[in-house]
Amino acid sequence: QMISQGWKYFKENFYYFSRIPKTWYSAQQFCMSRDSHLTSVASESEQEFLYKVAGGLFYWIGLTKAGSEGDWYWVDKTPFDKVQSARFWIPGEPNNFGNNEHCANIKMSSLQSWNDASCDNKLFFICKRPYIPSEP
């Protein structure tokens, strides 16, 4: 069987850790061109997997804001659980610094690792796509 080159497997999904920095939007475009999206983070074990592979470098994740309230949502359509997700922000974040921080990244090598930043920053990024077994 062909193994997805450059993609890491974890619990039913493949993850791609880019080596080239892009704006949040360009990163999401890149992920979509590879049948994926910027990653969602739906559990503590997933968060732990991601920050450990990230190794202290900054990576965009698939969390951004929409609507008049500026509510956070996952670009892969995973429902955003504000209460369960609160523990993954760096203390004091998200702070919408300069009123221009509408995209989230993994900034720290820690369970509390997320920061909101300007979507125009060029960062590495993480794509996620489900592993779909094919029939024999």
- When asked if residue 64 is in the footprint of Ca ion (CB under 5 A), the reply is no
Give the binding range for ligand 2F8 (CB under 6 A) out of 11-19, 31-39, 64-72, 94-102. Answer: 94-102
34: DSSP letter = T
Can you tell me which of 40, 64, 105, 115 binds Ca ion, judged by CB under 5 A?
Answer: 115
- When asked if residue 113 is in the footprint of Ca ion (CB under 5 A), the reply is no
Q: To the nearest whole angstrom, how small is the minimum distance from the Cβ of residue 68 to ligand 2F8?
A: 22
Residue number of the CB closest to Ca ion reads: 116
Residue number of the CB closest to ligand 2F8 reads: 117
Report d(CA 30, CA 45) in Å as an integer: 25
Report d(CA 132, CA 116) in Å as an integer: 31
Can you tell me which of 63, 72, 76, 101 binds ligand 2F8, judged by CB under 6 A?
Answer: 101
Nearer to Ca ion, 64 or 115 (CB): 115
Give Rg (Cα) of the chain. Answer: 14
Angle at 18 between CA 75 and CA 80, to 5 degrees: 20
Find the DSSP H helices in the chain: 24-33, 44-54, 82-85
Long-range contacts made by residues 78-81, C-beta under 8 angstroms, separation at least 24?
78/40, 78/42, 81/42
Q: To the nearest whole angstrom, how small is the minimum distance from the Cβ of residue 64 to ligand 2F8?
A: 14
Binding site for Ca ion (CB under 5 A): 93, 95, 97, 101, 115-116
Binding site for ligand 2F8 (CB under 6 A): 93, 95, 97, 101, 115-118, 121
